[in-house]
Structure formats: C-alpha cells, structure tokens
Amino acid sequence: MDIPVDHTGVTVRRALELPGLRSGLPEVLAGAEGLGREVRWVHAGEVPHIASLLKGGELLLTTGYGLGTRPAEQRAFVRTLAERGIAALVVELGPRFTRLPAALIDTARATGLPLAQLHREVAFVTVTEEIHTEIVNGHYALLQRAEEVHRLCTNALLGGGGIPQVLGILADFSGNPVFLETVEGRLLYAAGAGPEGAEPLQVWERLRGAGKETPSGAVVVEVPGGGGGPAGAASGVIGSVGGTSVRARLVLLPVRAPLAPVHRIAAERAAGILAVVLMQARQEEELAARGRGDFLSDLAEGRIAAADAPAQARVLGFRPGTGPLLPIVMRLGDPGTLPARAIAEELAALGVPVLLGVRPAEARVLVLLALRAEQDRTALADRAAAALRTGVDRAGTPRPGSPPPVVVVGVPGTWAAVSAGLRHAAEAATAAQGLPPRPWHDARHLDIDLLLWRLRDHPDLAAFVDRAIGSLRAHDARAKPPLLPTLETYLAHAGRKAETARELHLNRQTLYNRLARIGELLSTDLEDPQTVLALSLALRARRHVHRQ
C-alpha cells in the first residue's frame, strides 16, 4: 500500500528550524532530550502567571518580562510551565535579559522542559503564523492519509471484498494487528501479524482475551449500529455504549510499532465502512432466515412433499445425515423482527446440524435439529431451548411487558414425519401461551391444551367454563383471598393436600377450610374423579376462552 505513514507533527526541533525562529539564532540551553515533543500551538506573552492561560503542548514565546527578578520567582515560573505540560519555552534576549539567569536554566534542566534563547530579535507574529501554518498542513496531511485508507477500503468492498479485506488494509497501514470484537469482548475477525510473525489470534488472546484491560497506546473505535433502544436491539445491534447503539469494536494494538493520531482517524473512517458491511450482512442473514422460515412453514403445512424436502433443505445449507430430525418452535408474544443472527450463533454451539427459520409476522421461530443416534432428546432439548432464549435475550427481545417466549419441542422423526411434527409443535406453541412458564414444553403433553385452543371460539366451550367454575370466578372478583389459585394447585398435585399446602405456604387447617369453601361454592365433591376431570378441563379452557 503506497500510503506514507510518517505521522509526526511539528516538533520543537522542527519549529526551531523554520525560518522565523532560525533567524533569531536559537540556542538550546536545557531539555534537549525533549526536542521531539509535538507543538500543539504557539503562544506569546509576558505576564507572570501565564501558565494558567495555557492548556499544554504550546510553544511559549516571551522576552522575559514576566519571568520575575528573583531566582525563586524564576524557578516557580519554569516549574508551573513544566507542570502545565507546555512543549517548550523560547526567550528572546534583549532589554530584559542579555543572558538567561542560572536559576531559569537549572530549573528547566531539572524539569526536562526544553528551553531556548534567541540571540536576535524576531517578529513573534511571523513565528506564530509560520508554525501554525505548519501545524494545519500537518493535520491536513493526516486527513489525506486517512481518506486514502477510506478510499482503499471502499474499493475493496466494491470489488467484492468484505470485513477481512477492510481489516487487512487497516493492519497494513498501521503496521499492527487489527481486531473486530463484539461489545462483550468476543473476537469476530482479526488481521495482520504480531511481533515476530505471531498469529493475530495469539496476540488477541494474550492482550485482549479473558476480560484483560486495553493496553496503553491501543486504539479502540466503536462501530456504530442502526438506531437505539429496543427496536435497534431487535434488529441485531450487538450492544449499547453511552446511549448510542454499537455493533462492534475495532481495536488496533501497538505491538509492532506505536500508533499515532492518523491511525485513529483511519480507524474511525474504517468503522463507518464496517457499520455498512455489518448492516448489509445482517439484512442478508435476515432475508435468508425468512427464506428458511418460509420453507419450514410450507413443510409444516404440507405444501412440500416429504420426498422433495431433503433436496430443498440441502440448498438451504442443512445436511442432517441419516438420524432423526427434532422439530422445535419458539413463539414470542409480539410480532416483529426476530433476532435470527443472535439465535443462530447460540444454536451453533449445540454441535449438531441446525436449520433455523423465522416468521416475523407470526412471531415464530422454527428449528430442525439433526439428532445423532446416541443423543438423548431431552438433553438436546434442554440445551436448544436455553440457546433460543439466550439469543432472544442478547438481542433485547421481546420488549418489556411482552409475554415471555414459549418453546415447544416436537416429536423426532424422519422427513416423512417431520411435516406433522412441525405443525404439531407450532400449534402447541400457540396453545401453550398463558401456561405457567417452563424452559420448554413437550408437544406430546399439550394435546389437551391444543384441543381446547382449537375450540376457543365455540360458544359451548365458554358455557362449559362458566358452568364449571363461574361461581368461583365470581367469588374471586369480589372477595379475598382468591380461591381459583388454591383449586389449581390442588388439582395440579392430584389432590395431595400436604403438597398443596406446602406450595401455597398454608397450614393444613387453612387449606381444609379453603377446599371446603370451594366445594360449597361449586356445589360439588372435590374427591369425585369426574368432578376433578371437569374442573381441570375448565381451568385449562378458561385461558383460551378469555385470551382474545
């Protein structure tokens, strides 16, 4: 890459060599080791407390009237300038001093402050204009070099390149390895060699891995995301820093050569390009996930023949082998954009072939997992459900106040059976909304809820619920404590009173009194099997009848 990387600004040494100061015959009396300091600005003044007017990095021009007449004043003057961090002190000899006092020179040497005297008169305004012009030209040169990096990165993308090519250009320019990380510190991409040809991954693990602090002199630039808040998170933003959505961090580590301002400027230009690349990749992944969701939905609805499904799945990148297929469906409470990328990253850790599709309008995620012969369905379902929920949590969905996700695991089977398995799991996921939360539901255990959900609009079901538990619902609407939770817990424990009392944190007598009151309100015997069955169905059905 033909980009000059000489990034040094105007140093004290360079300033003394420019015509304005050179005409004054400058003589360095102290701080020669600091002549490489960069001059941020030039200031001229004659007041004793001039240090309070400076910010650091200035080259101070003076004729010495503000230095004081006593050695103690002169030492204090130099010390305060050194503490302020100015680049250098240049004193013009003349009416005030024909030679600089020893106290001034000794203090400058002790503090390391570059001190020069001018043996001829110079025009301070000319010196100021000359150095400032040099500084501005230097800044413009830095911007030109950074813009050249930006141009090369843009051309690389237009030529079909991606993130690795952008990082490679930046690594070549800086002479150091470059990394793209998530906000949480997980490495995404790396480019450039470390010291003695070390692999960039080795450099990253040594200096950045396992929560290590950023090394001194490193450049870290945030790669911006698209929008903030929950909507931005739901669309794939990796994190948020200072209220601004962030997709990743671009990190340059100074392991082969120091990093300079031009490298930060170039990194900031590259970060803007990377944001576009990541946005495009997210959009492509979103479209691909929707395409896979359409395939799985068509498969569930029987619009794809079992004989044609394997070939179409291979086109989508799914090669399950000969083992059974495990259908899983996750239903979220709100329709909208689903975090396909985050979920896919979590499911990849399962170590089995995965086909992931999303149906945003239905707030549904559909998954096929390829089971190996020796794998346990329950163990894999536990891990898969946890991965699905983690992916959703990472992306910040669902929004606060929304119902929690429901995960339903279907029955494993061949391609011939997976259509019915997916459809069963998808319908069961809808029917399971409103049930007590669980890590995942077995579709085989939701058949009663599914049947009741299918009958939800039938007036006979609403009438049945009202006949069975209407009087109890009326009681709970006007009196305390409510009795429906007691009945639900009692039936869930198959009429075992000790377990019911324990879960409700009641003493036995209080439970007996509540059960007696329930039997009185319902005019029924809670020990009768037919009554227990009817009440259990009514309690399940009321979730669907009143969930509109």
Sequence spans of domains, the chain: 12-133, 162-283, 301-444, 455-545
Mean pLDDT, residues 421-447 taken together:
89
Helical H segments across 59-123, by residue range: 71-84, 102-111
User: How many CA atoms does the CB half-sphere of 343 hold within 13 Å?
Assistant: 27
DSSP H helix total and E strand total for the chain: 19, 15
The mean predicted confidence, pLDDT, of the chain is: 85
pTM of structure: 0.51
Least confident of 95-99, 110-114, 542-546: 542-546
Residues 223 and 275: beta-carbon distance below 8 Å: yes
Give the C-alpha separation, 502 to 314, whole Å.
Answer: 53
As a whole number of angstroms, the distance between CA 167 and CA 249 comes to: 12
* Cβ–Cβ under 8 Å, residues 521 and 470: no
Q: Which of 140-149, 243-252, 476-485 has the highest mean pLDDT?
A: 476-485
The token duo for 429 is 């996921």
User: Which of 121-125, 195-199, 463-467 has the weakest average pLDDT?
Assistant: 195-199
The predicted pLDDT at position 398 comes to 60
Strand, helix or coil for residue 438: coil
Least trusted range by pLDDT, from 82-86, 129-133, 223-227, 425-429: 223-227
Q: How far apart are CA 344 and CA 317, in angstroms?
A: 13
Residue 232: pLDDT over 60: no
Strand, coil or helix: what is 358? strand
User: Which CATH code, of 1.10.1740, 3.30.70, 1.10.10, 1.20.950, is assigned to 301-444?
Assistant: 3.30.70
DSSP state of 178: E
* pLDDT for res 383: 94
pLDDT of residue 225: 67
Q: How far is CA 145 from the centre of its chain?
A: 30
Q: Predicted confidence band at 277 (pLDDT cuts at 50, 70, 90)?
A: confident
Distance in angstroms between the alpha carbons of the first and the last residue of the chain: 64
Contact in structure between 292 and 357 (CB atoms under 8 Å): yes
Segment 280-297 shows an average pLDDT of 82
**H or E element at residue 62:** strand 58-62
CATH code of the domain occupying 455-545: 1.10.10.2840
Contact assessment for residue 404 and residue 388, using Cβ atoms and an 8 Å cutoff: no
Higher pLDDT, 358 or 338: 358
pLDDT > 60? residue 281? yes
| Amino acid at residue number 489 | T
12-133 adopts what CATH topology?
3.40.1390
Helix (H, G, I), strand (E, B) or coil at 244: strand
Where does the pLDDT of residue 227 fall: very low under 50, low under 70, confident under 90, or very high at 90 and above?
Answer: very low
Model pLDDT, residue 33: 94
pLDDT in tens, 526-541: 888 898 899 989 888 8
Question: Mean of the pLDDT values across residues 334-357?
Answer: 85
Tell me the residue ranges of DSSP E strands in 274-429: 325-331, 354-359, 364-370, 406-409
Which fold is adopted by the domain 162-283?
Answer: Beta-Lactamase (3.30.450)
Residue 101 has pLDDT above 90, yes or no: yes
> Other CB atoms closer than 10 Å to residue 476's CB: what's the count?
16
Cα gap 241→246, rounded to integer Å: 7
Please identify which residue in the block is written with the tokens 């820093």.
241
